[in-house]
């Protein structure tokens, strides 16, 4: 194994239990490589010193203002989940019904071996258009409303 792999294993050993093979790789390599031995001891000392030092305390006003900003951001996100108006769902439902009514008579014309008639092509185009509208209109409405409120729902 290369030194870089051993260093990764040394670092990983602080976060997870390594298997015997990995521990053996570290042991054999550090016996032969003074750089990795030094890395292992310095890494161990660094971890111990970080454990022994208390975590720095935030100033109380900074802590309070940060918590308040987070609460406001969460409240904005909750408010930014608008529902789709029933009118939009109604229009989409009507388009679906019209599509089905138009498609049923043309369904007989759809055969794999024959070319499509112009009426069948029109109906298929209409169906594809309505399908796209059905799936993307709610997303576009939510995105538009979120932009008005200054939020980005896609991030």
How far is it between the farthest Cα atoms of the chain?
Answer: 82
**66, part of any domain:** no
Q: Are 100 and 107 in contact (CB under 8 A)?
A: no
Confidence of residue 79 (pLDDT cuts 50, 70, 90): low
User: For 36-61, how does the pLDDT look when each residue is reduced to its tens digit (9 = 90+)?
Assistant: 999 989 988 988 888 888 777 778 88
Residue 114, in any domain of the structure:
yes
Average pLDDT rounded to a whole number, residues 96-113? 72
Q: What is the 3-state secondary structure (H, E, C) of 103-124?
A: HHHHHHHCCCCCCCCHHHHHHH
**Number of independent structural domains in the chain:** 2
Q: What is the pTM of this model?
A: 0.37
Asked if 39 and 97 sit in the same domain, the reply is no
Find the angle CA(83)-CA(89)-CA(90) to the nearest 5 degrees.
Answer: 140
Q: Identify whether 65 is part of a domain.
A: no
- Tell me: pLDDT of 35 over 90: yes
Residue 131 banded pLDDT, cuts 50, 70, 90: confident
For residue 133, the enclosing domain spans 72-148
């Amino acid at each position: 194994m290369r030194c870089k792999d051993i260093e990764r294993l040394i670092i990983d050993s602080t976060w997870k239990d390594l298997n015997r093979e990995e521990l053996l790789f570290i042991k054999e390599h550090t016996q032969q490589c003074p750089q990795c031995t030094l890395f292992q001891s310095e890494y161990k000392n660094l971890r111990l010193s970080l454990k022994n030092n208390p975590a720095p305390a935030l100033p109380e006003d900074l802590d309070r203002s940060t918590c308040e900003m987070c609460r406001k951001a969460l409240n904005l996100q909750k408010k930014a989940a608008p529902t789709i108006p029933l009118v939009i769902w109604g229009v989409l439902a009507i388009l679906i019904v019209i599509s089905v009514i138009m498609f049923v008579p043309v369904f007989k014309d759809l055969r794999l071996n024959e070319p499509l008639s112009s009426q069948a092509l029109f109906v298929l185009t209409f169906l594809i258009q309505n399908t796209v509208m059905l799936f993307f209109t709610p997303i576009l409405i939510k995105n538009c409303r979120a932009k008005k409120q200054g939020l980005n729902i896609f991030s």
